[in-house]
Structure 1
Amino acid sequence: MNRSTKFLTQAGLIAAIYIVLTLAFRPISFGEVQVRIAEALTILPFFTPAAIPGLFVGCLLGNFLGGAIVYDIIFGSLASLLSSVLVYMLRRYKYLVPIPPIVINGIVVGSILKYAYAVPLPLISLMIFVAIGQTIACYGLGLPLLLFLQKNNIFKKN
């Protein structure tokens, strides 16, 4: 398989899995207290740069299909894009890989909840709630996924 075909295939599969996980766990994927199971996939840029557009498109479509408002669709997806780039940049430090999605989504999604959805809680509380959910998804699920994929050589690290 040539390089661009492999890249597109990986990106498409990652996007599809993200969408399915977001919608399958919809009751806990949205809201002021959320644990988006699909965010466990944010470790995938550790293995392949194809995860960067895959996670961006997956988040974009997952938010759209999940009924999010336009600000959430746009800015939540851009937060995933930035997180994915930072994860890719941190790939030498596997135990730090989950940090960018936790911090960035805590700030961005917390702000979206406060200002776009008008959730009547203090901004800092919303950021903390989102960061806690992200920590569960990224360290609780994502890091074990990273270790499993690495141990079993599922991806060949690029």
Structure 2
Amino acid sequence: MNARYLTKASLIAGIYLLLVLIQIPMGNIAFGPIQLRIAEGLTLLPLVESAAIPGLFIGCLAANFLLASYSSFGLVDILGGSLVTLVAAYLTNKMPNKILGALPPILLNGLIVSIWVSYFTNVPYWFTVLGISLGEMVSIAIFGTLMLTVYNKSIKHVGNDKNC
């Protein structure tokens, strides 16, 4: 790993954490059986940036740790949710396009995170799967597409800047 890779991973982690933190005034929509995390839009970045894999993991880990009092799911969510994000980011990195790249975070978060969210909230598992998966889809479709577009444009701009 070089300094550029570590810098990108750190920036992605910081952006993920920041995006979760700005949702605090909106209530508890980043945790629970119906989730909408704006930060999950970043889950498309592994398609174009391998540093997003550790960046998303660390960002999710930090967000889940710092905001554990909002979720009441404890260590299982801090570690489990972060590991799901890591695996989803790795699988997204292997996908050939944006449509297939969206599937790992949607399916893994929907099917796996719902296990403990359903258990701790006493909300039926399949309702929780639906709530988390739909929130993931919305975040990826709206924020993910926007973030991927901005990232690609910034890379093209930096690549064309002879002073960098």
TM over 0.5: yes
- Matches of 1:25 and 1:135, distance apart in 2: 17
> Which digits, 9 at most, give the CA deviation of each residue in 1:81-120, with x for residues without a partner?
0100011001x212322111011000122112023x2x12
Task: Report if aligned partners of 2:53, 2:86 keep a CA contact under 8 Å in 1.
Answer: yes
- Structure 1 residue runs without a partner (length 5+): none
- Structure 2 residue runs without a partner (length 5+): 160-164
So what's the TM-score if we normalise by structure 1?
0.88
Q: Which residue among 105, 114, 137 is the counterpart of 1:101?
A: 105
Change (3 A) 1:73 1:52: same
Task: Determine helix, strand or coil for the equivalent of 1:79.
Answer: helix
Change (3 A) 1:125 1:138: same
TM-superposed deviation, 1:149: 2.8
User: Which residue of the partner structure matches residue 15 of structure 1?
Assistant: 13
- Matches of 2:140 and 2:158, distance apart in 1: 18
- Matches of 1:57 and 1:141, distance apart in 2: 20
- Matches of 1:16 and 1:63, distance apart in 2: 13
> Which digits, 9 at most, give the CA deviation of each residue in 1:119-142, with x for residues without a partner?
122111101110000001011220
> Which digits, 9 at most, give the CA deviation of each residue in 1:20-53, with x for residues without a partner?
1111113221122110000001111112111100
Q: CA RMSD in A?
A: 1.7
User: Which residue of the partner structure matches residue 25 of structure 1?
Assistant: 23
Deviation beyond 6 Å, 4+ runs, structure 1? none
So what's the TM-score if we normalise by structure 2?
0.85
Matches for 1:3-152 after TM superposition, within 5 Å: 4-26=2-24, 27=27, 28-67=29-68, 68=71, 69-90=74-95, 92-115=96-119, 117=120, 119-152=121-154
- Matches of 1:97 and 1:143, distance apart in 2: 11
Task: Determine helix, strand or coil for the equivalent of 1:121.
Answer: coil
TM-superposed deviation, 1:151: 4.3
Change (3 A) 1:125 1:107: same
Percent identity of paired positions between Structure 1 and Structure 2: 37
> Which digits, 9 at most, give the CA deviation of each residue in 1:60-80, with x for residues without a partner?
010000114110001100100
Task: Report if aligned partners of 1:106, 1:128 keep a CA contact under 8 Å in 2.
Answer: yes
- Matches of 1:151 and 1:121, distance apart in 2: 42
Task: Report if aligned partners of 1:47, 1:155 keep a CA contact under 8 Å in 2.
Answer: no
Write 1 or 2 for the structure with the bigger share of helix.
Answer: 2
